Structure 1
């Protein structure tokens, strides 16, 4: 590291400000820098608001080491050797330096512990989301999530808060590995009526975490923007954003995996010309993650639909499919959902499903031509 970057990093660490010069623009985002021994009582951080380097804490915050137990329960540290746990009404906060008006996504890893109705509130004012932790999609006890916000201020507070009020005040989510990533909303092109059809623009994916990143459903994330630009998760369950470094991807470096059966769907509203004929083309495959069996996909364009069967051996691969339709209005609702609910054959616990990628929507000048 050169002298200037080193000094900038040192300044940020001491002042609790993340200097945004890269994807991982969060100071001590993996919590590997912990409190001093004198600032802890057991696992509880007692040394004041700034005891954890880079963060401002409030309430009952624990500093958890990998392999640690609470009674008979093993507390999961998803990445590295350390993480933090938020008790009742506890929070951690960090000031991040962003560009006013730009869109950003926050990728973070979270594990549930002993709360009956565990939740996590993530906010960068005025945007916020409350994620229910009842469903753990991965069989290892933790998930990576992404959430997006639009910066209203150049210096903003990023807050993770546990709104719970459990009988055991220590019960609450474990937080680990946090990164902020700038999003650049894609524009329409003459080759595709849809935006971000290849899913190349999306949240940050940690290179050392092979689980993929969950994008919460619209019913949970009520903001007007998404960590997957152009698309909305229009379902009850999350979808998974995957990369070619850890999964089999049909085209490019990124794709979407529909992991919750009919409760896992993505959608986009396309501008169309009434009476004009269009072709919706896409790739359906498996992620090479031991998701074996029937991974059917249903595609909808307005009132028209097609069911695409895909028999997976769980080792990667894909097929092409298309849907030809005549637009009935100036806007057409495009939806993809998974027909079946599936779990990985190697652990029988992790939710999985078909991969969608390389989605294009084009108008036909000569509608009678075969596709």
Structure 2
């Protein structure tokens, strides 16, 4: 590093290259972590001696997991009365009864952000919910609304690592008359998040939603970002879900996406809103550009997206035939504050034309916020 004293830029260049190399190495190391937790799909089950019917006996009977309370090991196609229990991936899942929980410890990088993805289904009660925690963070995921007709939804939840390890705990706080009554859990995965920053090409962070939770590769129903998610620990870095219902995170492998690999589908009308607060200069002119389309998931009909930037609003109609496509829109406004809230929601509710019990809606993507130069050009 002695060359940095010579007054030339060689040392600075070398230092910069070293930093970039470290970042690239770290990103590569983190990328390896993306995917299922150990036995995250529960395909490795308890020994026969650790089962009493479907009830799991023994705290460590399920490989890689620690359980508490009434936990069942469920095989796909198993019946509960007249109801058939369906497993979304593979052949097995677990069911959490009253006050039951599952826990696993895994290595993380202190200070790093992570998103957990898992699949869940109601089996009994209408008011089922789950507590998700990685100390000191915790959250409650409501499951009153099922968004897909197959009985399954995948959810995301994020946390920041306080230590070099994390204990993920999924707990059913319900107290039902039937102690076994509770949600089925399957396919628990993790993804390291790299929170993006504003750039000279976009004041908004993560405007294309390319940074987000892990999407299970063998699933075709996307990942729900739960309601009331704040941006400090959001599975969609930079964005908040400010609504009573979730928004859906979708990928180009299974859906039509206007740009890149990821987008957001507004699946619950005005109850499904996503927002970000951006730094702005009062009195300065800005343009908010974005794409509105459909996910090519048989969500057909007349759609209407409402976009907000501070006190200004734009309504964008979009006629969908349910087979993909999009249009672009621009909202021009003058900032009145140092912070401007940008928000989107769908004005109407929609159901898939081939499945009247699956919620759907317009897709939002490629959201950009830019200041307007004095000559009027962006």
TM normalised by structure 1 equals 0.92
In 1, are the aligned partners of 2:230 and 2:241 still within 8 Å (CA)?
A: no
CA distance in 2, matches of 1:127, 1:227: 13
Selected match of 1:40 from 48, 51, 56:
51
Selected match of 1:189 from 168, 193, 199:
199
Residue 13 of structure 1: aligned partner: none
Selected match of 2:268 from 256, 260, 267:
260
CA distance in 1, matches of 2:301, 2:277: 31
Encode CA deviations 1:35-84: one digit per residue, 9 max, x unaligned.
111110111111x1111001001110000000011111112212111000
1:290 partnered with 2:301: no
1:336 partnered with 2:344: yes
**1:349 aligned counterpart, secondary structure:** strand
In 2, are the aligned partners of 1:129 and 1:222 still within 8 Å (CA)?
A: no
In 1, are the aligned partners of 2:266 and 2:361 still within 8 Å (CA)?
A: yes
CA distance in 2, matches of 1:153, 1:295: 45
Aligned-pair RMSD on alpha carbons?
A: 1.4
Selected match of 2:163 from 145, 153, 178:
153
1:30 partnered with 2:41: yes
Encode CA deviations 1:159-218: one digit per residue, 9 max, x unaligned.
011111100000000000000110000011001110000110000011111100000111
Encode CA deviations 1:275-300: one digit per residue, 9 max, x unaligned.
00000000000000000001210000
> 5+ unaligned residues in a row in structure 2: which ranges?
1-29
**1:209 aligned counterpart, secondary structure:** coil
In 2, are the aligned partners of 1:262 and 1:339 still within 8 Å (CA)?
A: yes
Where does structure 1 differ by over 4 angstroms across 4 or more consecutive aligned residues?
none
> 5+ unaligned residues in a row in structure 1: which ranges?
1-18
Structure whose alpha-carbon radius of gyration is higher:
2
CA distance in 2, matches of 1:22, 1:159: 18
Residue 24 of structure 2: aligned partner: none
CA distance in 2, matches of 1:116, 1:249: 33
Selected match of 2:235 from 223, 227, 244:
227
Residue 85 of structure 1: aligned partner: 95
Superposed, which structure 2 residues align to 1:201-350 within 5 Å? Answer: 201-218=211-228, 221=229, 224-350=232-358
Residue 69 of structure 1: aligned partner: 79
In 2, are the aligned partners of 1:45 and 1:51 still within 8 Å (CA)?
A: yes
Residue 25 of structure 2: aligned partner: none
In 1, are the aligned partners of 2:283 and 2:336 still within 8 Å (CA)?
A: yes
Encode CA deviations 1:200-240: one digit per residue, 9 max, x unaligned.
0000011111100000111xx46832000010011111000
CA distance in 2, matches of 1:282, 1:248: 16
Residue 8 of structure 1: aligned partner: none
In 1, are the aligned partners of 2:36 and 2:187 still within 8 Å (CA)?
A: no
CA distance in 2, matches of 1:268, 1:138: 27
CA distance in 2, matches of 1:55, 1:91: 10
TM-aligned CA deviation for residue 20 of structure 1: 8.8
Selected match of 1:135 from 145, 157, 160:
145
CA distance in 2, matches of 1:277, 1:269: 16
Number of residues of Structure 1 aligned to a counterpart in Structure 2: 349
CA distance in 2, matches of 1:75, 1:318: 38
TM-aligned CA deviation for residue 366 of structure 1: 3.2
